[in-house]
Amino acid sequence: MPAPLIRCEGLAKRYEVGGGGVHALRDLTVSVMPGEFVAVMGPSGSGKSTFMNLVGCLDSPSAGRYWLAGEAVDAMSRDQLAAVRNRRIGFVFQQFNLLPRTSALDNVELPLLYAGVPRQQRRERALRRLGQVGLAERVDHHPPQLSGGQQQRVAIARALVNDPALILADEPTGALDSRTSIEVMALLQALNREGITILVVTHEPEVAAFASRIILFRDGRLVRDTAHRAQDATTALAALDRQTDTAPVTGSGTLAGGARSTRGI
């Protein structure tokens, strides 16, 4: 049996608020194997975001142990954590978090910049990833010139550019319309088939349906962990197109369509 990519033992996070502490996450023990596609669900305040932040090495646990690809992350220094985030994890955020007034290409190059990759190589790798997400024609566009779906694809290219083992997507479809959401999920599924482990935080069952495993949080505890037969996003997209063809007026049928958001950083 292969070693798990993510292994948490007794992981807990406690915030000190006012008079006492609030347990955002209690005594979590869970493992994720390489190549899994996991949806993390739960109502707001359930601890799912805290879990993602800990897994993403953006926050440090109050107690418990966490290994990422066999490395004990809980004992690492800030700089070591930065290196782990840089090399092993790609982040996709609800609000895209692209740098404004910066071209798509430069946005995608950002992780390589911090990895110390030479300029020429940075460019080549970023261009390749932008091509992979279908934005080869728009590498010089700035975020406000792109649709929401395109911005999210730039963000996915950025998450991919350093060849991470794990992609953490925090409500990646939260700012997108339903069709663009499915497109993004199809992209994530394609990456998953290439062997990248994917964790998606979502509160939408429609999005979770594309995952092969669903973890449910409530009140800071993991309450349910179920395997799931994943729905294929490409098929769902085709089905949606057939609906659109029969329905006379919808107006959001183009690939570039989707919610436009100019919100940057």
Partner 1 sequence: MDLLATLRIALKALRTNALRSALTMLGIVIGVAAVIAMIGVGKGAQTRVEEQVRSLGANVMVLWPSSVNAGGVRSGSGGVQTLTEDDAWAIALEVPEVAFAAPTQRGSGQVVFGNQNWFAAVFGVGNDFFEVREWGLAAGRHFEPAEVQGSGKVIILGQTVARQLFGADTPYEDMIDRVVRLRRVPLTVIGVAERKGQSAVGQDQDDSVFVPVSTARTRLFGVVQGKQRRINSIWIKVHAGEDMKAAEEGIRTLLRQRHRLADGQDDDFTIRNLTEVMQAQEAASRSMTALLAAIASVSLLVGGIGIMNIMLVSVTERTREIGLRMAVGARGRDILSQFLIEAVTLSSIGGAIGIGLGVLAAELVGQSAGWRIEIQTEAVLLAFGFAGLIGVFFGYYPARKASRLTPIDALRYE
Q: Give the binding site for partner 1 (CB under 8 A).
A: 53, 56, 58-59, 78-79, 82-83, 85-87, 91, 93, 97, 99, 101-102, 110-111, 113-116, 119, 158, 162, 265
Q: How far apart are CA 245 and CA 60, in angstroms?
A: 49
Q: Least CB distance from residue 198 to partner 1, whole Å?
A: 17
DSSP-derived pairing of the beta strands 213-218 and 37-41:
parallel
**Are the beta carbons of 104 and 130 closer than 8 angstroms?**
yes
DSSP-derived pairing of the beta strands 71-72 and 63-68:
antiparallel
Q: Least CB distance from residue 14 to partner 1, whole Å?
A: 15
Q: How far apart are CA 62 and CA 149, in angstroms?
A: 36
Identity of the residue, 96 or 217, whose beta carbon is nearer to partner 1 in the bound complex:
96
Q: Least CB distance from residue 64 to partner 1, whole Å?
A: 17
Q: How far apart are CA 261 and CA 119, in angstroms?
A: 30
**Are the beta carbons of 198 and 122 closer than 8 angstroms?**
no
Sign of CA dihedral 37, 43, 49, 54: negative
Identity of the residue, 75 or 113, whose beta carbon is nearer to partner 1 in the bound complex:
113
Q: Least CB distance from residue 206 to partner 1, whole Å?
A: 26
Q: Least CB distance from residue 13 to partner 1, whole Å?
A: 11
Identity of the residue, 86 or 147, whose beta carbon is nearer to partner 1 in the bound complex:
86
**Are the beta carbons of 242 and 235 closer than 8 angstroms?**
no
Identity of the residue, 110 or 209, whose beta carbon is nearer to partner 1 in the bound complex:
110
Q: Least CB distance from residue 118 to partner 1, whole Å?
A: 9
Amino acid identity at 88: R
Identity of the residue, 7 or 85, whose beta carbon is nearer to partner 1 in the bound complex:
85
Specify the 3-state DSSP secondary structure of 50.
helix
- Phi, psi (rounded to 5 degrees) for 158: -65, -40
Identity of the residue, 7 or 158, whose beta carbon is nearer to partner 1 in the bound complex:
158
3-state helix, strand, coil in the chain (%, to 5): 35, 25, 40
Identity of the residue, 93 or 210, whose beta carbon is nearer to partner 1 in the bound complex:
93
Q: Which residues pair with 22 in a beta bridge?
A: 15
Q: How far apart are CA 49 and CA 55, in angstroms?
A: 10
Identity of the residue, 42 or 90, whose beta carbon is nearer to partner 1 in the bound complex:
90
**Are the beta carbons of 88 and 165 closer than 8 angstroms?**
yes
Q: Least CB distance from residue 31 to partner 1, whole Å?
A: 23
Q: Least CB distance from residue 112 to partner 1, whole Å?
A: 9
